[in-house]
């Protein structure tokens, strides 16, 4: 043997400064900030949201009034973007329609996430018979043709904004439910969940306070993307004439002006562009969140 061990007890820890606490959310934000495309998306999204929030107050022209000659091209009048087939101001339509589109898209996405997380969390956490029953229900909704079901709902219950949002939410929650379920099944086996159980945590606490926050990253990404999908969905319904007749939305402008597309390109192009930019912004942010919230990429 060599000389005996120099010491056998723990000496004081070397005086290392304690670093600043860095929460997982802050880590994710640091990562997100470094992502150029995501930051552009975020800027664009904030712009769209600001427009929807403040635009109608700043631009007082009503989107429903006939203000000029129908089908006036952009730049030919004081109404910059021209007018639609009944002479309504297109710019006013875009500004007011943005608010409606985003509200319908946002609330439909919120509903999608709410139903999806609820179903997925219970199925994934409890497993067994509860899982089986909930997954059969999910499959039932999954095989129904989405657009058709939404159309039926709207036609049966009327084309109000609330009904449209419910219709979209009701048909698109299934993939969120499946994602949530898989995350819950994975996380419920983690030792920290077991540790919580060993200190007497209730099922409710385990589901909502322990597992859900840790399952959140992919759910946040999916929520962002489902907001984009919901906007497209709303546009699709409005295009088919199933939009709320009392609320101007981007999809409805396109739907209304569809017969005149060859004479008045602007009446469908500008709202189309608005939808495209909004969905693009959401997708970029969703992609950025996906990278920022992925622990495997974070260490780079």
Place of tokens 């975020």: 42
Position 6 contacts other proteins (CB under 8 A): yes
299: exposed, middle or buried (C-beta count within 10 Å: 0-12, 13-18, 19+)?
exposed
Count interface residues toward other proteins (CB under 8 A).
34
CB 123 within 8 Å of CB 177: yes
Position 191 contacts other proteins (CB under 8 A): yes
243: exposed, middle or buried (C-beta count within 10 Å: 0-12, 13-18, 19+)?
buried
Sign of the four-CA dihedral 289, 290, 292, 295: positive
Kindly list the distances between the CA atom of residue 170 and the CA atoms of 153, 157, 166, 275, 298, in Å, as whole numbers in the listed order: 9, 14, 6, 22, 35
Position 5 contacts other proteins (CB under 8 A): yes
Q: Which of 57, 58, 143, 199 binds other proteins (CB under 8 A)?
A: 199
Site for other proteins in 19-38 (CB under 8 A): 19, 21-24, 27
**CA nearest to 275, candidates 53, 94, 120, 47:** 94
Position 11 contacts other proteins (CB under 8 A): yes
Q: Which of 18, 57, 58, 204 binds other proteins (CB under 8 A)?
A: 18
Q: Which is nearer to other proteins, 19 or 58 (CB)?
A: 19
Sole window of 45-53, 148-156, 200-208, 271-279 interacting with other proteins (rule: CB under 8 A): 200-208
Position 294 contacts other proteins (CB under 8 A): no
Position 10 contacts other proteins (CB under 8 A): yes
Sole window of 17-25, 35-43, 45-53, 81-89 interacting with other proteins (rule: CB under 8 A): 17-25
Min separation Cβ 177 and other proteins, Å: 23
Sole window of 61-69, 130-138, 166-174, 190-198 interacting with other proteins (rule: CB under 8 A): 190-198
> What's the alpha-carbon Rg for the chain, to the nearest Å?
25
Which one-letter DSSP state was computed for residue 64?
S
Position 175 contacts other proteins (CB under 8 A): no
Q: Which is nearer to other proteins, 7 or 58 (CB)?
A: 7
Position 57 contacts other proteins (CB under 8 A): no
Q: Could you count the other beta carbons within 10 Å of the beta carbon of residue 162?
A: 12
Q: Residue 274 and residue 45: Cα distance in Å, rounded?
A: 11
Position 297 contacts other proteins (CB under 8 A): no
Count of helices and strands (H, E) across the chain:
13, 0
Min separation Cβ 25 and other proteins, Å: 8
Position 296 contacts other proteins (CB under 8 A): no
CB 290 within 8 Å of CB 35: no
Position 204 contacts other proteins (CB under 8 A): no
Q: Which is nearer to other proteins, 10 or 58 (CB)?
A: 10
Q: Which of 46, 50, 190, 273 binds other proteins (CB under 8 A)?
A: 190
List of residues 6+ apart from 26 with CB closer than 8 A: none
Footprint on this chain of other proteins (rule: CB under 8 A): 1-2, 5-11, 13-14, 18-19, 21-24, 27, 190-192, 194-201, 205, 210, 213-214, 300
């Amino acid at each position: 043997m060599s000389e005996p061990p120099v010491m056998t007890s723990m000496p004081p820890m070397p005086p290392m400064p304690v670093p600043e606490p860095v929460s997982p959310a802050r880590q994710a934000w640091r990562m997100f900030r470094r992502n150029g495309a995501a930051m552009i998306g975020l800027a664009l999204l904030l712009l769209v949201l600001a427009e929807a929030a403040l635009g109608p107050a700043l631009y007082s022209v009503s989107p429903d009034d006939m203000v000029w000659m129908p089908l006036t091209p952009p730049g030919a009048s004081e109404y910059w973007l021209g007018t639609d087939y009944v002479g309504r101001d297109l710019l006013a339509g875009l500004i007011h329609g943005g608010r409606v589109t985003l509200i319908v898209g946002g609330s439909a996405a919120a509903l999608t996430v709410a139903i999806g997380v609820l179903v997925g969390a219970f199925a994934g956490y409890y497993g067994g018979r509860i899982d089986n029953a909930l997954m059969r229900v999910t499959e039932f909704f999954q095989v129904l043709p989405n657009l058709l079901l939404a159309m039926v709902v709207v036609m049966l219950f009327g084309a109000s904004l609330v009904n449209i949002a419910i219709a979209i939410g009701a048909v698109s929650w299934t993939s969120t439910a499946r994602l949530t379920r898989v995350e819950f099944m994975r996380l419920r086996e983690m030792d920290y969940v077991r540790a919580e159980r060993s200190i007497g945590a209730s099922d409710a606490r385990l589901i909502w306070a322990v597992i859900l926050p840790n399952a959140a990253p992919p759910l946040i990404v999916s929520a962002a993307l489902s907001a984009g999908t919901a906007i497209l969905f709303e546009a699709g319904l409005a295009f088919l004439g199933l939009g709320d007749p009392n609320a101007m939305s981007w999809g409805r402008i396109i739907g209304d002006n569809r017969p005149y597309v060859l004479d008045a390109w602007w009446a469908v192009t500008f709202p189309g562009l608005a939808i495209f930019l909004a969905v693009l912004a959401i997708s970029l942010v969703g992609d950025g969140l996906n990278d920022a919230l992925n622990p495997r990429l974070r260490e780079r």
